[in-house]
C-alpha cells in the first residue's frame, strides 16, 4: 500500500501480564497473555481503536501472518490489551505508537464482551473497549504486527464485509456493526 515500514520492534509478548476481569470490568488478577488465549480463553481486558482520516475513511490493518490468532485477517486500525498496571488510555496510546507510529486523541465509544475461537489454536475472551480517533498519516507500520494497511470508505467496507465476511476478524465485524449504528 506504499506506507513506510520502518518500525520492526517486537511489541507483543506471550509472557506480558494481562488484566483478568469479570463482566463488569472489575479486576480479578493477572495472567500471561498466552494463558488468557488458551482453550476457550479467560476473560480479560482488551481494546480496539478505529482511526479515520479527514475524508471519513477507516484505516484497516491486515494482521501479520506471524500472529498466532487470526494472522492475515483484516481488522480495525489497532487492537490489543492493557497490561498489568496500565489504564485503557495509556495502553491505547502505547499501541498506536507501537503499531502505526502515530498519536491521536481517542474517544471512548462503548465496551462489550465477546468470545471467539480460532481453529484449535486458541480463543479470544475479551471485555473490549472501543475507541475512535482521527489521523491522516503518514503511518509507520510495525510489520511484526501488521502486514498491510488500507483506508476504506464505510459504505465500501459494509459491502466487502457482506461479500467476504471470512476475511475479517470476528471482533472487528461485531464492533463495526455497532459503530455504524451510532456513527453519523
pTM over 0.85: yes
Q: Give 55-70 pLDDT, tens digit per residue.
A: 999 999 999 998 888 9
Model confidence at 108, in pLDDT bands (50, 70, 90)? very high
Instruction: Report d(CA 83, CA 31) in Å as an integer.
Output: 10
Q: Which of 99, 124, 126, 175 is catalytic?
A: 126
pLDDT above 60: residue 163: yes
Q: Give 114-152 pLDDT, tens digit per residue.
A: 998 888 878 889 999 999 999 999 999 999 999 999 999
Q: Pairing relation of β-strands 122-134 and 44-52? A: parallel
Instruction: Report d(CA 129, CA 112) in Å as an integer.
Output: 7
Start-to-end CA distance of the chain, whole Å, equals 28
Instruction: Report d(CA 68, CA 66) in Å as an integer.
Output: 6
Report the share of the chain in percent with pLDDT over 70: 91
- Beta strands per DSSP E along 25-105: 27-32, 44-52, 58-63, 74-75, 78-80
Q: Grid coordinates in use for 106?
A: 481517542
CA–CA–CA angle 78, 161, 49 (5° rounding): 15
- The SS3 assignment for 77 reads coil
Task: List all residues 6 or more positions away from 55 whose beta carbon is below 8 Å from its beta carbon.
Answer: 151, 153
Q: Which of 79, 99, 145, 175 is catalytic?
A: 79
pLDDT, residue 15, reads: 58
Instruction: Report d(CA 1, CA 139) in Å as an integer.
Output: 11
Task: List all residues 6 or more positions away from 155 whose beta carbon is below 8 Å from its beta carbon.
Answer: none
**Residue 36 bears catalytic tag:** no
CATH code of domain 17-182 = 3.90.79.10
Instruction: Report d(CA 25, CA 118) in Å as an integer.
Output: 24
pLDDT, residue 2, reads: 41
pLDDT above 90: residue 3: no
**Residue 99 bears catalytic tag:** no
Amino acid at each position: 500500500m506504499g506506507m513506510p515500514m520502518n518500525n520492526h520492534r517486537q511489541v507483543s509478548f506471550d509472557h506480558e501480564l494481562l488484566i483478568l476481569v469479570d463482566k463488569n470490568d472489575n479486576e480479578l488478577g493477572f495472567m500471561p497473555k498466552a494463558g488468557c488465549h488458551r482453550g476457550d480463553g479467560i476473560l480479560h481486558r482488551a481494546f480496539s481503536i478505529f482511526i479515520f482520516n479527514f475524508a471519513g475513511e477507516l484505516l484497516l490493518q491486515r494482521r501479520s501472518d506471524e500472529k498466532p490468532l487470526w494472522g492475515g485477517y483484516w481488522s480495525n486500525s489497532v487492537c490489543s490489551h492493557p497490561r498489568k498496571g496500565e489504564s485503557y488510555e495509556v495502553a491505547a496510546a502505547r499501541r498506536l505508537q507501537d503499531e502505526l507510529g502515530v498519536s491521536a486523541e481517542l474517544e471512548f465509544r462503548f465496551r462489550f464482551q465477546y468470545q471467539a475461537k480460532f481453529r484449535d489454536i486458541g480463543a479470544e475472551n475479551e471485555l473490549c473497549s472501543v475507541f475512535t480517533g482521527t489521523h491522516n498519516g503518514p503511518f509507520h507500520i510495525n510489520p511484526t504486527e501488521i502486514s498491510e494497511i488500507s483506508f476504506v470508505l464505510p459504505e465500501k467496507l459494509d459491502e466487502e464485509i457482506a461479500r467476504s465476511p471470512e476475511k475479517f476478524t470476528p471482533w472487528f465485524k461485531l464492533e463495526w456493526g455497532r459503530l455504524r449504528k451510532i456513527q453519523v
